[in-house]
Amino acid sequence: MNTAAEHCLHLPYQPPWDWQQFHSHYALRALPSVERLTPSSYSRSFRLGEISGWFSVRPLVEQSALELRYSASAAPCLSELQQRVRRMFDLDAEPQRITAHLADDPLLGPLVTRNPGLRLPVAFDPFEQAVRAIVGQQVTVKAAVTITGRLVSRLGEPLLPGTDGLERLFPSAATIAGATLDGIGMPGKRVQTLQYFAELVASGELRLDLQQGSAALIERLCALPGIGPWTAEYIALRAFGEADAFPASDLGLLKAPLWGSEGISAKQLKSRAEAWRPWRAYAAAHLWHNYSGG
């Protein structure tokens, strides 16, 4: 592969699909030097095994597809790269089927009908998303991005050659586990939680996958010190795109305008969400969209 054209392919999807949803998601969460967002594109560095590089996607106006451009170094892992990018942008969802199921709910239905193209933004790398979720416990999204950015600045390896503002790779589990994180901006117990988690992942003792199902992963995560149901459910949703994951205690879900000025309790929400199975994560996407004013 020697030409730019050979480093480009198209990833089709079943419409509707909403680029603006993904743009808004990454506008709040993009990590400097790892990710770059423009009005019409998203780019990031990546590492798959021993291979590192970058990729960029943009929506194609004239067809239901994303254009994927990638570094020459990605050629040996192109199949996996495509799969991960498809998962990131939820390109394999069945919007009509999901909408038909959720539209029956008397309160949620109007939201779903108004925004039928909402999908599940999913992380490129499960470990990176898990780190973000642990860092994000009890802090704002902005604060979590700032702290995670410090991890990248201190510990992220340079991407060689870098391109268009993508200069670093997200730190590996082994690197985070063995680092000195004084002054990183987190309480000591959360630092301990993060480094213990990273140590388990680095050693292979904790596998971040859904081979035994999402319930088993959530159970494994909840057994770790400092990781509760919200963090575990959020990891299942954002790291793997698990369609039925549902972090019922999430503030954005509890305070969505849909529920009125008093909101709803986590217990009430969890009970109500039973009717949304097996698409509870998509219901969450609509509630988050409602909470953010979309």
- Examine the domain organization and report whether 86 and 136 are in the same domain: no
- Examine the domain organization and report whether 47 and 140 are in the same domain: no
Give φ, ψ of 8 to 5 degrees.
-140, 140
Q: Kind of pairing, strands 65-70 and 166-168? A: unpaired
71 secondary structure, DSSP code: -
- Number of structural domains the chain divides into: 2
Instruction: Answer whether 0.85 is exceeded by the pTM.
Output: yes
250 is catalytic: yes
3-state secondary structure of 67: strand
199-236: per-residue pLDDT in tens?
999 999 999 999 999 999 999 999 999 999 999 999 99
The average pLDDT across 174-185 equals 97
- Examine the domain organization and report whether 152 and 64 are in the same domain: no
- Examine the domain organization and report whether 226 and 144 are in the same domain: yes
Residue 98 within any structural domain of the chain: no
CB half-sphere exposure, 264, CA atoms < 13 A = 22
- Examine the domain organization and report whether 67 and 131 are in the same domain: no
Nearest-angstrom CA–CA distance, 76 and 50: 10
- Examine the domain organization and report whether 45 and 134 are in the same domain: no
61-74: per-residue pLDDT in tens?
999 999 999 999 99
- Examine the domain organization and report whether 138 and 74 are in the same domain: no
The answer to whether 203 touches 178, Cβ cutoff 8 Å, is no
Residue 118 within any structural domain of the chain: no
* Block residue for tokens 């390896």: 157
Residue 196 within any structural domain of the chain: yes
Residue 78 within any structural domain of the chain: yes
pLDDT at 162 over 90: no
Q: Any idea what the CATH number is for the domain that residue 70 is in? A: 3.30.310.20
pLDDT at 4 over 60: no
pLDDT at residue 293, rounded to an integer: 74
pLDDT at residue 207, rounded to an integer: 95
- Examine the domain organization and report whether 42 and 137 are in the same domain: no
28-57: per-residue pLDDT in tens?
999 999 999 999 999 999 999 999 999 999
Residue 144 within any structural domain of the chain: yes
- Examine the domain organization and report whether 222 and 134 are in the same domain: yes
- Examine the domain organization and report whether 89 and 130 are in the same domain: no
- Strand segments, DSSP code E, in 21-175 are 35-38, 41-48, 51-59, 65-70, 158-163, 166-168
The answer to whether 59 touches 19, Cβ cutoff 8 Å, is yes
Give, in order, the Cα–Cα distances in Å from 217 to each of 187, 270, 285. Answer: 26, 19, 21
Residue 56 has a CB neighbour count (10 Å cut-off) of: 20
Residue 100 within any structural domain of the chain: no
pLDDT at 16 over 60: yes
pLDDT at 294 over 80: no
Q: Any idea what the CATH number is for the domain that residue 173 is in? A: 1.10.340.30
* Neighbour-count burial of 40, counting CB atoms closer than 10 A to its CB (0-12 exposed, 13-18 middle, 19+ buried): exposed
- Residues facing 41 on adjacent strands: 38
Nearest-angstrom CA–CA distance, 235 and 130: 6
Could you tell me the residue range of the domain that residue 48 belongs to?
4-93
pLDDT at 2 over 50: no
Nearest-angstrom CA–CA distance, 168 and 10: 26
